[in-house]
Amino acid sequence: MPAPRILILGATGGLGRALHRHFAVNFETITWGRADLDFERPDSIAAKLASQKFDVLLNAAGMTSPDVCEIEPERALLANVVAPQILAECCQARGARMIHFSTDYVFGAEARDLWFETDETVPVNVYGRTKLAGEQAVLKASPGALVARVSWLFGPHKPSHPDNIIQRALQTDDLSAVADKISVPTSNADICGWIEQLIVRHPTTCGVLHLCNSGVASWHSWAEAALTIAARLEVPVKTTTVQPIELACLTQLKAPRPLMTVMSNAKLQSLLGGEIRNWYDALEEYLVQKYQPQ
């Protein structure tokens, strides 16, 4: 059977770029950014998709800033709900598989050790509510679609929290990070590998699936881990110590954030038949590749 043709949406984002780099090696891959498909012009989506041949659509596009979503809820609705629904309707009509990326922010303020795919979702901000509505719209329009929830992404194609903290530590030893917000940092590279397995080996897997590394972290522990690894790699950071602060101290944030969104990856692990590595190991691999390329 020939390899499926893959259409990737969200070409300018870190995950979209990682997906393109990964799949372009062995698959016929098409990547679109906002200039190719504008989610804020939903009337144009169906015609644009009709002009392109593909077997699998990976939707890594959308409005991902909680603060922007909070300020501009109408735009968030178009990007995170209306457009994904149209994409799903088009995929359903042509028999293509849709994999739609969502977020741990669909979970709410309740404190839990782990969130499972079957747990109730009560998002606390516009971003989470629109992403949840987008999940529901996609699965209603295309029951065979897969909704992949991800959290705290990092990788080489777009600076994230560990990159930013290392850059700050090159200039100063006065650093702080939130210690009471907990989730799972997740490698874009690992997500790409999981998605390839889900496409090739599990073509009928559908519904909601958590795609995240193992372990837990706060923004604070994630930051100190990044600095410790960087120092070991002889990156001239001025400190490996970060002052812990509470999320409530970040008064500039427009949108409330859930404090605890650690997702279980047990379903993913069972499906793929192997251990999902810890976020620290994935972070170390990423930073070694960044600062000590072969």
Q: What is the domain partition of the chain in residue ranges?
A: 6-158+184-216+261-276
What is the spatial distance between Cα 60 and Cα 10, in angstroms, rounded to a whole number?
5
Q: Which of 172, 163, 160, 154 is nearest to 241 (CA)?
A: 172
The residues, ordered by sequence, that sit 6+ positions from 131 with a Cβ below 8 Å of its Cβ are 62, 80, 102, 103, 105, 106, 123
Q: Which of 110, 161, 113, 105 is nearest to 129 (CA)?
A: 105
Give me the CATH topology for the region 6-158+184-216+261-276. Rossmann fold (3.40.50)
Residue where the block lists tokens 């295309």:
142
Q: What are the residue numbers of the active site?
A: 127
Q: Could you tell me the mean pLDDT of each successive run of 10 residues in the chain, 294 residues long? A: 91 95 96 93 94 97 97 98 98 98 93 93 97 98 98 96 98 97 98 98 97 98 98 97 96 96 98 95 98 82
Buried b (16+ CB within 10 A) or exposed e, 187-218: bbbbbbebbbebbeeeeebbebbbbbbbbbbb
Sheet of strand 6-9: strand arrangement: 29-32, 6-9, 56-59, 97-103, 146-150, 207-210
CB 102 within 8 A of CB 147: yes
The token duo for 97 is: 């598989």
The token duo for 127 is: 């971003």
The token duo for 203 is: 């073509």
What is the spatial distance between Cα 97 and Cα 19, in angstroms, rounded to a whole number?
16
The separation between CA 169 and the C-alpha centre of its own chain, rounded to angstroms, equals 25
Looking at residue 263, what is its pLDDT? 98
Bridge partner list, 243: 176
Looking at residue 1, what is its pLDDT? 66
Q: Which of 215, 217, 221 is nearest to 165 (CA)?
A: 221
Would you tell me the crossing angle of helices 219-232 and 161-169 to the nearest 10 degrees?
A: 60
Instruction: Indicate the helix (H) or strand (E) that contains 177.
Output: strand 176-178
Bridge partner list, 6: 29, 56
The token duo for 156 is: 């080489």
Looking at residue 110, what is its pLDDT? 82
DSSP 97: E
Q: What is the pTM of this model?
A: 0.96
Q: How far is CA 42 from CA 14, 39, 150, in A?
A: 23, 6, 25
Q: Which of 66, 207, 199, 49 is nearest to 135 (CA)?
A: 207
Q: Which of 74, 81, 90 is nearest to 147 (CA)?
A: 81
Looking at residue 2, what is its pLDDT? 78
Residue 49 CB: number of other CB atoms within 10 A? 22
